Every structure is written in structure tokens, then in C-alpha cells.
Copies of this chain bind each other. A is one copy, B any other.
């Protein structure tokens, strides 16, 4: 069916021999340093390369952002105390980075680790336990070890390019990456899909025509798929109690299914390259105007916490603002957010209804509920009336305009009604701006990244077609 020149695409996305050599030299060098340092300092530990580089499924340079990053585990015997593991692990990582004149940054996942910026690569040095199977799991990072061993053992050499094609396709249509920011497909999940279906084309055929909500894949036939409620279930071959696709949202699963369908119907190599999209300020302005809705931006500085932690907090805030608005009868057409993670968060709220009458209907007790009726009528007297079998009354609405509702909700003392992480709450309490979108587009020097966000908000399926 396809006349696509996959070899040409692979030329663009597969690391060159030189690139492979460079990464191998670097990682082997680091492993030797760590192992040497361990012996020198009497630490019972051993370094091991994991992740896409170790599995041979990584993409060339900038073909997929961050994919060539090197992950090194520093494995400790199971008898090591967690305290010793953390302390010695960090020591070995930091010392190693220092020796190669890299720049070290401490980070936190389930436990602390250190990232070294060395020769243009980001290299994670992650302490873990040297486990043999899932029953010995002590922390989430230990599982990475098992994943690497499983793929190294099962994925034949000729399938590695199939993984690369799938990853690149996913990335181009916007569904690659299991981090919260994306909510898409992890690299390991791509590898498992290739193992299961056999090829890039077969994965796309399945997603295009056979996938449905709660679709189940169980490579090792553990029979535990029913335990999981997520949109896609892929039982982890190294841990039957884990769904590898748990971070995948229904949204991204749907988007991949549609992109796969579009590709299989009308294949094009364009699906493996970034889509060129024009973000014209005036066109965007025109489009929003034509909708006749009312769009408000809430703008504030992100808190100084790791990027991974910022996204869920922003999403929670967005949802909380939508719920608050709808609870007060302001109908929301759509919402979204954007952040550069450092300087600016923008939450966009687009309203069908943003102004409401002064009066609001408030439902009271049933007419046969005498105690409740007495209380209700003591309060509202003859202002109340009956509708069928219950009392209702017209009460003064606290906020006739949604912006006033939100501004009140964002003040100290009221902010408790909203649900979002405390880091972000503190940041908003310090300072935020709320603007009409039109006002924002008129007044500000709007960056291309923000324009891209607004464009994507208006054209949500843009990336699924070529």
C-alpha cells in the first residue's frame, strides 16, 4: 500500500556510525570511572547503561528531542540500606561528573539522583538496587533495569529501526512522551508495541482499525489486564501488576489512533517530519473574533519547582477554574494552558457565557419536608415560590461576570475553594494578570511560542494530518 521510502527516513533519524561511536565511548568511559571510584572508595556498586541508548532504539541527535540522553544506573546490592544507597550513589555520580569536568544538577524522582551535563549530553546517574525480577522491586527506578534487560533480550536487531520509525511518527504527530506534559507513549511502550505487532506498519494498522477504549495487550500472557482501568492496557512483561500505558491519556491515545488511520489511508513521509504551521497574529485574532466567545487569559510566573511537577499543578488549576466557572453557571467552551516552565504560565479559558443575570434560581427543600421548609422560609419568606414539589427562590448572584468570580477566587481567604498545588497557589497569590485575549493580543509583544499555543488551541487536530 505504501510507496514511502523508509530507508530515506531512517537515514535522517538513525544515529550515524560516528554518533554511535561517540555515545559508546562516552558512556563506557563514565561506567569505568564509576566502577573505579567504587572500588577506590570501598563501595559495593556497579554502573550500567540503560534506556534507549542501551537498547539500541535511540534516535539521532535532534531527530527527537532528548532521546539520545544517556541513562546510567548505579546498582547496589539488595542488602544496602536506602540511606547508604542514596548517599553513595550521589557521591559516585557527582564525583564522576567532576572528574570529566561536567556540570552537576541534583534532581528528584522517587529518590534523588544527579544529572551531569557533559559534552552536550544530559546524563542521569541514578542509584538503584540490583534486582533480578519484579518481586524484588524497592523503587520505581529499579524497574528501568528490568526493562532494559527485557528489551535487550527480546528485541531483535532488525526490529530496532521499526521502533525508531514508530517513535519518530509519534513525535511528529504529538503523541510521543509519557511525561505529564504530553501524556503520550513512552519509549518502552513503543518498543513493546513493536515486539507485539512485529513492525511499524502493523502497529499503525492495529491502532488505525482495531484499537478501542480499554484495548488490552499482554505479551507474557499474565492474564492481569483486567486489573487496569486505563484507556490502553499494556501489561508490563517484567511486572504483571503494572500497566506500561498508565500515563497515556485517552486524548493522546485517540490522537494516535486518528493519525495512524490518516497515515494508513494516505501514507506520506511528511508524517516523519515536523509540520510547518504559520502562526499569524492577525489570523489568530480574526479566528477568535469570529467565534463570538469570550476568552480570558490568566498569566503568572511558574513556581521554582522541577518542570515535571509544574505541569500537573497547572492542569489541576485549569480544571479547577473550569469547574468553578461552570458551578456558577458560566458555560465554558474550552480551556488549555501553556508554559515555558521558567518565566510564564498562561491558562486560557474560553466562555460561551460570561455574563449572567443578577438573580439566580436556588433550589430549596421539598414541600413535605417540614423542618427544612421552616428553615428555608424563615430565611426567604414570601420571596420563595413552589415549582412542582419543591421550594425555589431567586437569590442575588455574587458574581454577574466570570472575571469577577475568578478574581475573587484568587484572593487569599477564598483560594481554598480552588484545588491546585500549593507552590502554584503561592505564586498566584503573589501576582497574576487576568486579561481578555483580545487585549493581550493588542497590547503585548506576543512571542512565537505563545502564538503557536493559540494556533494549536484553535486547530487541535492540526498535527494529525499531512
Residue in contact with A367 in the complex, picked from B258, B385, B387, B389, CB distance below 8 Å: B258
Chain B proximity of A255: nearest CB distance (Å):
6
Chain B residue at minimal CB-CB distance from A381: B465
A211 within 8 A of B: yes
Q: Please state if B460 and A386 are interface contacts (CB–CB under 8 Å).
A: yes
Chain B residue at minimal CB-CB distance from A465: B382
Residue in contact with A352 in the complex, picked from B261, B329, B385, CB distance below 8 Å: B329
Query: When A211-B368, A257-B368, A367-B254 are in contact, do A293 and B357 touch as well, CB less than 8 Å?
Result: yes
Q: Please state if A382 and B459 are interface contacts (CB–CB under 8 Å).
A: yes
A221 within 8 A of B: no
Q: Please state if A386 and B255 are interface contacts (CB–CB under 8 Å).
A: yes
Which residues of chain A in 345-383 are interfacial with respect to chain B, using CB atoms and an 8 Å cutoff?
Answer: 352-353, 356-359, 361, 367-368, 370, 373, 382
Chain B proximity of A26: nearest CB distance (Å):
41
Q: Please state if A261 and B370 are interface contacts (CB–CB under 8 Å).
A: yes
* Chain B positions within 8 Å of A361 at CB level: 333-334
* Chain B positions within 8 Å of A353 at CB level: 353, 356
A209 within 8 A of B: yes
Per the bound structure, the CA–CA distance linking A358 and B213 in Å amounts to: 33
Which residues of chain A in 290-308 are interfacial with respect to chain B, using CB atoms and an 8 Å cutoff?
Answer: 290-294
Residue in contact with A461 in the complex, picked from B290, B291, B382, B460, CB distance below 8 Å: B382
* Chain B positions within 8 Å of A329 at CB level: 331, 352
Chain B residue at minimal CB-CB distance from A461: B385
Q: Please state if A357 and B461 are interface contacts (CB–CB under 8 Å).
A: no
A323 within 8 A of B: no
Number of copies: 2
Query: When A329-B352, A370-B261 are in contact, do A358 and B291 touch as well, CB less than 8 Å?
Result: yes
Q: Please state if B209 and A385 are interface contacts (CB–CB under 8 Å).
A: no
Q: Please state if A293 and B333 are interface contacts (CB–CB under 8 Å).
A: no
* Chain B positions within 8 Å of A213 at CB level: 368, 389
Query: When A212-B368, A382-B462 are in contact, do A292 and B400 touch as well, CB less than 8 Å?
Result: yes
* Chain B positions within 8 Å of A209 at CB level: 370
* Chain B positions within 8 Å of A389 at CB level: 213, 231, 250, 253-254
* Chain B positions within 8 Å of A461 at CB level: 382, 384-386
Chain B proximity of A390: nearest CB distance (Å):
8
A136 within 8 A of B: no
Q: Please state if B356 and A352 are interface contacts (CB–CB under 8 Å).
A: yes
Query: When A352-B329, A368-B212, A460-B386 are in contact, do A359 and B258 touch as well, CB less than 8 Å?
Result: no
8 other A-B residue contacts (CB within 8 Å) besides A211-B368, A213-B389 = A251-B388, A257-B367, A290-B359, A291-B357, A292-B357, A292-B358, A385-B460, A386-B461
Binding site for B on A (CB under 8 A): 209, 211-213, 231, 250-251, 253-255, 257-258, 261, 290-294, 329, 331, 333-334, 352-353, 356-359, 361, 367-368, 370, 373, 382, 384-390, 394, 400, 459-462, 465
10 chain-A/chain-B pairs, Cβ below 8 angstroms: A251-B388, A254-B390, A290-B358, A291-B357, A291-B359, A291-B394, A333-B359, A334-B361, A385-B459, A386-B461
Going nearest first, the 9 A-B pairs with the smallest beta carbon separation are A385-B460, A292-B358, A292-B357, A291-B359, A293-B357, A254-B367, A212-B368, A250-B388, A385-B461
